[in-house]
Amino acid sequence: MPRVASIGECMIELRQGPGALYTRSFGGDTLNTAVYLARLDVKVDYLTVLGDDTLSDEMIAAWTEEGVGTRPVVRLPGMLPGLYMIHTDANGERQFFHWRENSAARQLMDLPETDDLLNSLLSYDVVYLSAITLSLYGESGRARLVSALSRARLLGTRFVFDTNFRARGWPDLNIARSVFGAALEIADIVLASTEDLLALYPGESAAELMARIPSPEVVLRLAEPASLLRFPGGSAEVRAEPVTKRVIDTTAAGDSFAAAYIAARLAGSDPIEAARAGHRLAGVVVCYPGAIIPAYAMPLRKRSRSTAPRKASQ
């Protein structure tokens, strides 16, 4: 069975309820994707750093219950996870407020265990991370991670890069553009959105944004419910099926799309079928509050009809 490593940060999530009441749970872009991957029967480990507090204990227990592997999680005494708050408007569009400057996850590239963790990437079929993951680390940490990804790809590990972008996480847009460029150069699959890329390259068309990405397999989610695809031997536009229920919260729409796309590709679907699976799951997720929907709400999967995705080669 293929194995996936998802790298990033899980935070305490506070979701606004009636009045001034908030519900506490956990979330973070790459963690959300890892949970949805596990629910789609993909063997996935989460690589991150947590504290030794009771909230971190709860995170580990929740991930284990979901089937996400926690063996690579490093625990640091005296440290805490970050925190974020979600506010949604009447249309379900979300606004995030973060308190994460001193979170344990930011230490991942600066630990005695870092070399072993980075070397372990060689043992995975796919490594998945996002631009938010890269924003957690300093210049030297990002360089260590990119170097490790490049080594892993030489032995056939595929690197999937999600362009999930939050400007507040970067000291300078030019730095962000430089880091994006380095990640895009080595990514086997890029899961992008116009929302992310237009923040870096304002005013560009979808075709111009696609042209910026040298990766062989690219999915560009558009502002409307559709995606543009480019892959070896072809290109396509995939439109999402209409969402028939009321949209409540768009949190994790992109994260769930990524999980369904990766799971479908690993199961043998071609990029077009994988994008349809991504849109299908995201269309369900936006009809529930918070990042992780109830397990019973997961849509039924359709059987794959194509060949397995290629291995990386250089």
Total-model pTM: 0.91
pLDDT-based confidence at residue 302 (cuts at 50, 70, 90):
low
Give the tens place of pLDDT for each residue, 247-301.
Answer: 988 889 999 999 999 999 999 999 999 999 999 999 999 999 888 999 999 987 6
State the chain's mean pLDDT as an integer: 92
**What pLDDT does residue 92 have?**
60
pLDDT-based confidence at residue 312 (cuts at 50, 70, 90):
very low
Residue where the block lists tokens 């750093």: 49
Average pLDDT over residues 164-193: 96
Average pLDDT over residues 201-222: 97
pLDDT-based confidence at residue 22 (cuts at 50, 70, 90):
confident
**What pLDDT does residue 298 have?**
94
φ and ψ at 9, to 5 degrees?
-140, 135
CATH of 3-9+28-79+105-297, one of 3.40.50.12780, 3.20.20.70, 3.40.1190.20, 3.40.50.970: 3.40.1190.20
Average pLDDT over residues 179-199: 97
Statement: residue 310 has pLDDT above 70: no
**What pLDDT does residue 305 have?**
44
**What pLDDT does residue 282 have?**
96
Statement: residue 303 has pLDDT above 60: no
Residues acting as catalytic residues: 255
Written as one letter, the residue type at 225 is P
**What pLDDT does residue 222 have?**
97
**What pLDDT does residue 263 have?**
98
Give the tens place of pLDDT for each residue, 134-144.
Answer: 999 999 999 99
Render 22-50 in DSSP notation, one character per residue. Answer: EEEEEE-HHHHHHHHHHHTT-EEEEE-EE
Query: Quick one: DSSP state of residue 296?
Result: G
Q: Which residues touch 192 (CB under 8 Å, ≥6 apart)?
A: 162, 163, 209, 213, 218, 219, 220, 221
Report the range of poorest mean pLDDT among 94-108, 182-196, 271-285: 94-108
| Inter-CA distances, 14 with 89, 186, 187, Å | 15, 35, 33
Statement: residue 27 has pLDDT above 80: yes
Highest mean pLDDT among 5-14, 85-94, 300-309: 5-14
CB 164 within 8 A of CB 132: yes
Statement: residue 88 has pLDDT above 80: no
CB 76 within 8 A of CB 105: no
**What pLDDT does residue 301 have?**
65
46 vs 304: which has the higher pLDDT: 46
In degrees, rounded to 5, the angle at the alpha carbon of residue 235 between the alpha carbons of residues 220 and 189 is 50
